[in-house]
Structure 1
């Protein structure tokens, strides 16, 4: 979902500082303007990096957005660990609701998803972001299996998709209100399906 800024960043010198400045400016402008109004010149101006450098390295708004979305794989985000499968999944669903509905947060993740419909590069980066999140969520299902809440062989990524899909459906398809009740319902349904063996390979 696209990405929240983190305190954990790659170490580096001037080249890395330039990269960070450009990509963070890209995220800011993506949230403010959306993908279709994003320009390389605007990113250069916002970041304070000469536009020749930006064009040479990232070439286009597509390249900038794809690289900026990749920042999500560098953060220090960790999956919830509450002691139960349902509550871990609720933590994920609650985070989605918060990111996509709170006024101070919702513009960037929403713009990131919309960008993926206009740019193959952005779509590939967004897919990579969620693959990274799925990998980090593997522990949720591993712990659930150890506690006897899900059978051995349960596909962790499918459990996570099942818990998150109803939130995205309400947000982007049916345009229904999304709240914490919806998050709880999605988590409970995914948990019951996992316990029944619906996601075993």
Structure 2
């Protein structure tokens, strides 16, 4: 069945000039957001930084929050669920992908997105974590483990985000190893309960 719902503004991804315009706008928006925060989220500043005319921004994204939502969607992307046959390796791969998103200006970007007061943007962040819980659920299923994916995701992701967002340091291998090992211990010892 074909959906009759039109795609959200700014999310169509054809090649050529349209793709280049979108890439430049998202790059400029990311830079402004991480460097100056929400106060920089004005169409005229995004237009100036990206080199894209303000009328194009309004036509495709309607408002700054539309560009931010598109950026959040672009960051989330899609990933293949690991299935190495080893629980520790699968969790390490998931943790490594989360850590990669926090590299460079990733931590500053996450802080800015979390503080952006718009329902559309927050929905994209909620969708991101819903998908990560689903990834964890598939990994647990692969290994025949009856544990709550929400709890396991929380255990795995929390040390990485604490390191990046609170301590403001790069997520190193030691942090990833500790997150994976503590998660495995908790998974093997904790009976199935709902933590959503």
TM-score (norm 2): 0.72
**Alignment partner of 1:144 is 2:140:** no
Is the 8 Å Cα contact of residues 112 and 126 (structure 1) preserved in structure 2?
A: no
Separation in 2, partners of 1:99, 1:20: 17
Q: CA deviation at 1:57?
A: 3.8
Match in the other structure for 2:104: 106
Distance 2:30 2:78 in 1: 18
Alignment partners' CA distance in 2, 1:71 and 1:13: 18
Shift of 1:26: 2.3
Do 1:159 and 1:199's aligned partners in 2 also have CA atoms closer than 8 Å?
no
Q: CA deviation at 1:130?
A: 2.1
Q: Which has the higher contact order (CA 8 A, sep 6+)?
A: 1
1:118 pairs with one of 116, 120, 125: 116
Residue pair 2:28, 2:50 contacting (<8 A) in 1 also = yes
In structure 1, distance between residues paired with 2:38 and 2:84: 37
Contact 1:89 1:160 in 2 (8 A): no
Task: Determine the C-alpha separation between the residues in 2 that align with 1:200 and 1:11.
Answer: 44
Deviation at 1:164, TM superposition (A): 0.9
Matched, 1:182 2:185: no
Describe the SS at the equivalent of 2:116: coil
Q: Considering only aligned residues, what root-mean-square deviation do their CA atoms show, in Å?
A: 3.0
| Structure 2 alignment gaps of length 5 or more | 1-11
Deviations 1:105-146 (A, max 9, x none): 32134323323213234333222222223323432111121x
- Aligned-partner Cα distance in 2 for 1:69–1:99: 11
1:21-73 CA distances to partner (integer Å, 9 max, x unpaired)? Answer: 43344234434443332331232234443212312443433232122111235
Whole-angstrom CA distance in 1 between matches of 2:55 and 2:155: 44
C-alpha contact 2:41 2:64 (8 A) present in aligned 1: yes
Cα distance in 1 for partners of 2:192, 2:96 equals 22
Give the alignment's TM-score, normalised by structure 1.
0.71
**Alpha-carbon distance in 2 for matches of 1:132, 1:35:** 26
**Any gaps of 5 or more consecutive residues in structure 1?**
1-8
Q: Is the 8 A contact 2:44 2:54 kept in 1?
A: yes
User: Distance between the aligned counterparts of 2:60 and 2:23, measured in 1?
Assistant: 13
Assess, with a 3 A threshold, how the Cα gap between structure 1 residues 46 and 176 changes in structure 2: closer, same or farther: closer
Is 1:84 paired with 2:114?
no
Partner of 2:129: 130
